Amino acid sequence: EDLMDKVIQTATSLLNDNSIQAAALESQEAKEKIRGHLSILSTDRKNASVVTEDPFVVISKVGSEMYWALIHISRLNPLYYFSKTYFMKVVRQVLASRNLKVRPSGSGTSTDHFVHLMNYLISNIYNYFRWCLFVKHARLYRFLVVIGYMKLMNTVTQVEWELFLRGTHDLNFDALEKDTCVLRPAWVSEEIWNSCAVLELLPAFRNIRSSLAQQASQWREYFGLSSTVISAAPSCEFSHLTIFQKAILWRLFRPQKLSVIMNDIVSCELGGTLIRDLRFTLSSLFNYILQNTFVMFLIPADSVALSTHPIYWIEQMAREHQMQNNVHIICLGSNDQTAMIVHELRKAISRGKWLVLNNCHLLEHWDTHLV
């Protein structure tokens, strides 16, 4: 309004009026700041209540969601074990590395500070534990972290999550009212059509079958795209669908693209926070090693002819950190090596050396004191 008043009242050319230019720049900066806040809070009013909640509570909930996602992942392989104590140890180290503190409400930039701290925690906790998982499990963990985040931000309801996770197969279709007025398009199977009838019980998907019938070619083209949830729905009637609601439709119509759908959800929600490249790199791994925690390289039993042995990686890391003369390697397999291992371990701790135990599977008995 101030800018418009100046434009109306000015008696000279707008291009020659420095005050107008300054006011326009100030107005533009204000608009960008507002857009930034809106992108954080989203258009959903529920998000505003989440952000204005006690930041310590919200951040603790984010950590809790990340821990329980890790527990779910640990069921996929007997080698996985993540205790709550160790998880909290990682969280404390992440916080200590940045010395960030949540500011009290009313300090002017508390919301920005809170969002920055939350994204920092999510990014660093995930980046640490992804090295403890196989690549396909790390991708799944990343997706579960995003789902937990979306639940806290109220952008995913429990009903929507159950529909995405389990579909509509367990529901009783006979109890649904059959709409005989809407003809099913030829490219939509009867099973999917019945599932759409279930979706219509939710306000967001009301009249989805009518839209599929009336704009059959547009919907068919839409489900042939490669961008899945990133693209807008072909019908203006369903332009209100959230990212996850579009994911439910994609999960229903194109179940074979589940992996792509999950990756696109991650990109849309926390693409700048969670790293998508899960390839193994030495420098990245070393950044997330704790000084008082050992690193274990697991080689599958059927992978005898590996192109690179882990010792090569360890020696390369040692050279990069000027530790090449402080690496001691013990090859296990001989009898009664426990005493020697304990002795070398104490020496490594006192002198700041790296101790490498090679062929650990050949040690017949692991002494309790050594462990």
Q: DSSP secondary structure string, 27-59? A: HHHHHHHHHHHHHHH-S-HHHHHHHTS-HHHHH
Q: Are residues 241 and 303 in the same domain?
A: no
Could you give phi then psi for residue 330, rounded to 5 degrees? Answer: -115, 120
Residue 142 lies in a domain: no
* Region for residue 231 given its phi and psi (left: phi exceeds 0; alpha: psi -120 to 50; beta: otherwise): beta
Map tokens 């991708």 to a residue.
Answer: 139
Residue 57 in contact with residue 44, Cβ under 8 Å?
no
Which ranges of 223-290 does DSSP label H, i.e. alpha helix?
243-253, 258-270, 282-287
Structurally, the chain folds into a number of domains equal to: 3
Residue 190 lies in a domain: yes
> For residue 328, what is the enclosing H or E element?
strand 327-331
Averaged over successive runs of 10 residues, the pLDDT of the chain (371 residues) comes to: 63 69 76 61 48 73 93 91 91 80 52 80 90 89 94 91 86 55 89 91 92 93 88 88 94 93 91 70 71 76 66 88 91 85 90 90 84 82
Residue 126 lies in a domain: no
pLDDT at 134: 87
| CA-based R_g, the chain, Å | 28
- Amino acid (1-letter code) at residue 206: R
Q: Are residues 249 and 322 in the same domain?
A: no
Q: Are residues 222 and 172 in the same domain?
A: yes
Domain extent, residue 354, equals 294-362
Cα distance between residue 147 and residue 89, in whole Å: 24
DSSP letter (8 states) at residue 268: H
Cα distance between residue 205 and residue 53, in whole Å: 30
Q: Are residues 303 and 229 in the same domain?
A: no
Residue 6 lies in a domain: yes
Give the domain-ending residue among 253, 282, 310: 253
pLDDT at 44: 45
Residue 60 lies in a domain: no
Residue 233 lies in a domain: yes
Residue 333 lies in a domain: yes
Residue 251 in contact with residue 164, Cβ under 8 Å?
yes
11 CA to centre of own chain: 55
What contacts 142, CB < 8 A, 6 or more positions away? Answer: 126, 130, 266, 274
- Pair of tokens at residue 306: 């590996």
Give the domain-ending residue among 253, 269, 286: 253
The torsion defined by the Cα of 142, 147, 152 and 155, in degrees rounded to 10, comes to 130
pLDDT at 43: 41
Residue 24 lies in a domain: yes
